[in-house]
Amino acid sequence: MSVLAVFCALLVVLPLILVFFYLLKMGFSSLNLNFFTKVPTAAGENGGGMANAIVGTLELMGLALIMGVPLGLLGGIFLSEHGSERTNGWIRFGADVLNGVPSIVWGMACYTLVVVPMGGYSAFAGGLALSFIMVPLVLRTTEEVLVLVPHAYREAGLALGIPHWKITVNIVLRTAFKGIVTGVLLGLGRVAGETAPILFTALGSTSWNHSLKEPIAALPIQIYYYAISPFEDQNRQAWAGALVLIVIVFLLSTSVRMISNRRKRA
Amino acid sequence: MITASNPSLPATAADLPEPKRWGDRLFKTITFLSAAMVGVGFLLVAYVLIQGAWPAIKLYGWSFLSNTHWNPVTDNYGALPFIVGTLVTSLIALLIAVPLSVGTAIFLTDLAPLWMRQPLTSVIEMLAAVPSVIWGLWGLFVLMPWLHDVPYTWLNKHFSFIPLFAGPIEGSGACILTAGIIVAIMILPIVTSVSREILRSVPDLQREAAYGLGATRWEVTRIAVLSYARRGLMGAAVLGLGRALGETMAVTMVVGNSPKIHASLLQPGWTLASVIANQFGEASGEIQRSVLYEIGLVLVGVTILVNIGALILIKSIETPGSRRT
């Protein structure tokens, strides 16, 4: 029986090893200077790159950060510092349910709310769809971290006569800062790889993006289009793009681990 | 709560008197509105989906859920192929992933040497961080060809008398079974980590009692741990199901995109989420778009119900103070 359990563990780890192996094998050879500096060429021509997609992913992550984190942060503060137990329980439950909604639904909602009134696909719509994913995530992680701040800190502030909101902002938030940053980075890591929400909001593009109202390219969506394309050069670029994407995602999760380890040691 | 030393002092933040300063009240209002955004967001999505789906709901009524046609030319649409496709791929994913995940969770909590536990947990978390489109890419170019060449042709040659494995198989290997396997890989991390938490929360006393009665290692795990944790493990499986229902990109790339119901697992199909991904951007005409909204509504409704069930099951087993290191 123990052998079975070991076997299960091995089978679980196997796909990760295989994915890494193939990403490196198929993608590494296509990573060249062209890839990082050029935009996609016409279909069938060789020698394009994904520069606009890489920049676009970073831009969309920034948009999701600006639009999603403040709401999630403030909501998490409410859950941990104010409110009654019953309403908080419902809000927490609602956030957990929203976390489980398929991300394509956020894309559909943003399409109706932003793309149709605006008359076109835009980076703003893509960032908004991604921020819908970030808000419940950041809300829950912020609340979990704030609850861990010892009560004595708040009571010390009260004893000094500091207004309650100043206690929350200057003492509690500052103490929990690393945990909040961890939660935000986890959310960003998830958002960086999301394709479905930006399929019909930001649309992807083959040129540089110049304003929030234009469509924007992003790594996940470019990988998707290139993977299902019949041209072999584009398929190879899809692997290279996937390698870059997974490096970004893993950089984010390693920095999460580094931050939380530093916290434990201190 | 009243403390023994001074009954009039508040003991928790909840006992504090209502804020009288405007700064406090403003802050409380702002944070409350932000938290309420969760409810607002949910209502907004529901409203948008229902409004978009309304033309289709008016046109087809309940027969939409049992119709099997998909004809943009005659505007004859039905969602049954996608419902069946979603259910079958999720079922396959659960059948593969839940035993593997529970086995791995047992390994992590009981059998693995202590030095191995944290690295293995990190590896499984890394599995969760891989984006869906990369699983789709790998599935499309690596897994699918191998599945087609080795297991599928063998199954089709020797077992095609069983309807599950019958039928001409696609040359690419794109079929319901491939989608099920990919989704299984994607839900492994979440089911494993939740199962691990559940198994960790089983009190030590249960295991010690079983050992005291002379049970072998496997009997301890089976009798003391697994039966105690059964409801929580079911919750982990249902959580995995919720995740499996919504998987879009990886499924789109390997499921074969065919709006027909086949009895065979080796034939292509479609799921609720992947048909939206494929068709929403290019939907011709108001009815087709409205139909896709209705499919989205069905998807969201089913996913939310499944997730609520999972949360209830999981929370019913975690009692405070029962965690094991």
Q: What is the pLDDT of residues A243-256, one digit of tens each?
A: 999 999 988 888 88
Residue pair B166/B264 in contact (Cβ under 8 Å)? The answer is yes
By the CB < 8 Å criterion, does B129 face chain A? yes
Q: In chain A, where are the structural domains located? A: 31-265
Mean pLDDT of A39-58: 79
pLDDT at position B183 over 90: yes
pLDDT digits (tens, 9 = 90+) for B242-299: 889 888 889 988 888 888 877 777 888 888 888 888 888 777 777 888 888 888 888 8
pLDDT at B134: 92
Q: How many Å apart are CA B88 and CA B91, to the nearest integer?
A: 5
Choice between A165 and A42, residue whose per-residue pLDDT is larger:
A165
Average pLDDT over residues A24-31: 82
Per-residue pLDDT at B92 = 92
Report, as an integer, the average pLDDT of B79-84: 85
Can you tell me the distance from the alpha carbon of B290 to that of B57, in angstroms, rounded to the nearest whole number?
Answer: 8
Q: Which residues, listed in sequence order, are joined to residue B71 by a DSSP beta bridge?
A: B76
Q: Which residues of B159-183 are buried (b: 16+ CB within 10 A; e: fewer)?
A: ebeeeebbbebbeebbbbbbbbbbb
Q: Where do we find the tokens 């969602």?
A: B79
Q: Residue B34: which pLDDT band, with cuts at 50, 70 and 90?
A: confident
| Tokens representing residue A178 in the block | 């690393």
What is the predicted ipTM? 0.88
pLDDT score, position A36? 77
Please give the model's pTM, rounded to 2 decimal places: 0.85
| A171 at B interface, C-beta within 8 A | no
Mean pLDDT of chain A: 85
pLDDT for the residue numbered B18: 59
Residue A82: which of B21, B28, B132 has the nearest Cβ?
A: B28
Mean pLDDT of A187-198: 89
**In this structure, are residues A67 and A131 in contact, taking their beta carbons and an 8 Å threshold?**
yes
Q: Which helix (H) or strand (E) holds B18?
A: none
Report pLDDT for B67.
77
pLDDT at B6: 62
Per-residue pLDDT, averaged over B183-204, amounts to 89
pLDDT at A50: 81
- For residue A78, list chain B residues with Cβ-Cβ distance below 8 A: 28, 31-32, 34-35
Question: Tell me, what DSSP letter sits at residue A43?
Answer: T
Domain ranges in chain B are 61-315
Asked whether residue B19 carries a pLDDT value surpassing 60, the answer given is no
Asked if B273 has any chain A CB less than 8 Å from its own CB, the reply is yes
Q: Does A117 touch chain B (CB under 8 A)?
A: no
Contact state of A102 with B245 under an 8 Å Cβ cutoff = yes
If you count them, how many residues does chain A have? 266
Q: Between chains, do B104 and A163 touch, taking CB under 8 Å as contact? A: no
Cα B205 → chain centroid = 32
Window B:212-241, CB contacts with A under 8 Å: 217-218, 221, 239
**Among residues of chain B, what percentage have pLDDT more than 70?**
90
In this complex, do B218 and A1 lie within 8 Å of one another by their Cβ atoms? yes
Q: Could you give the 3-state DSSP secondary structure of residue A211?
A: coil
Query: Distance (Å) from the C-alpha of residue A177 to the closest C-alpha of chain B?
Result: 17
Beta bridge partners of A203: A216
Is the pLDDT confidence value at A266 over 70?
no
Cβ(B185)–Cβ(B89) under 8 Å? no
CB B104 within 8 A of CB A12: yes
**Percent of chain B's residues with pLDDT above 90:** 11
Which pLDDT value is given to residue B321? 41
User: Hey, is the C-beta of A186 within 8 angstroms of any chain B C-beta?
Assistant: no
Please tell me the distance from the alpha carbon of residue A86 to that of residue A101, in angstroms, as a whole number.
Answer: 23
Lowest mean pLDDT among A248-257, B7-16, B82-91, B255-264: B7-16
Q: For chain A, say whether B193 makes contact (Cβ under 8 Å).
A: no
The three-state secondary structure class of A4 is helix
Average pLDDT over residues A19-28: 87
Q: Which one is the CATH code of B61-315: 3.40.640.10, 1.10.3720.10, 3.40.50.620, 2.40.50.100?
A: 1.10.3720.10
The class that CATH gives domain A31-265 is mainly alpha
Residue B4 pLDDT class (50, 70, 90 cuts)? low
Q: Say how far apart CA B272 and CA A109 lie, in whole Å.
A: 16
* B54 vs B149: CA distance, rounded Å: 45
Residues of B in contact with A242 (CB under 8 A): 133-134, 137
Inform me whether the pLDDT recorded for A78 exceeds 60: yes
| Alpha carbon separation from B315 to A92, A150, B99, B241 (Å, rounded) | 13, 25, 21, 17
What does the DSSP assignment read for A52-117? HHHHHHHHHHHHHHHHHHHHHHHHHHHHHHSS-HHHHHHHHHHHHHHHTS-HHHHHHHHIIIIIHH
Cβ pair B123:A74 closer than 8 A: no
B321 versus B272: the higher-pLDDT residue is B272
Q: Does B107 touch chain A (CB under 8 A)?
A: yes
Under the banding of pLDDT at 50, 70 and 90, the label for residue B10 is low
Residue B36 sits at the chain A interface (C-beta within 8 Å)? yes
Contact B130 A16 (CB under 8 A): yes
pLDDT mean over B173-189: 89
What is the predicted pLDDT for the residue at B324? 43
Q: What does the pLDDT read at residue B180?
A: 92
The predicted structure's pLDDT at residue B8: 65
% pLDDT > 70, chain A: 97
pLDDT at site A62: 92
Given a cut of 90, whether residue A162 has pLDDT beyond it is no
pLDDT tens track for B126-143: 888 899 999 999 999 988
The string of DSSP letters for B240-260 reads HHHHHHH--HHHHHHS----S
The phi and psi torsions of B143 (rounded to 5 degrees) equal -70, -45
For range A52-58, the mean pLDDT: 88
List, in order, residues 6 or more apart from B96 with CB less than 8 Å away: B180, B181, B184
What number is the average pLDDT over the span A194-200? 88
pLDDT digits (tens, 9 = 90+) for A117-134: 888 888 888 999 999 999
Confidence band, pLDDT 50/70/90 cuts, at residue A64: very high
The answer on pLDDT for B14 being more than 70 is: no
Residue B7 pLDDT exceeds 70: no
User: With 90 as the cut, is the pLDDT of residue B96 above it?
Assistant: yes
Quickly tell me which residue has 């969506």 as its tokens. Answer: A221
Average of per-residue pLDDT values in chain B? 82
C-beta atoms of A102 and B106 within 8 A: no
How far apart (Å, rounded) are the C-alpha atoms in residues A183 and A106? 21
Q: In chain A, what's the furthest Cα-to-Cα distance?
A: 71
Residue A100 confidence (pLDDT): 84
Query: With a CB-CB cutoff of 8 Å, which residues 53-72 of chain B face chain A?
Result: none
- Nearest of B88, B110, B259, B45 to residue B184 by alpha carbon: B88
Categorize the per-residue pLDDT at B323 as very low, low, confident or very high, splitting at 50, 70 and 90: very low
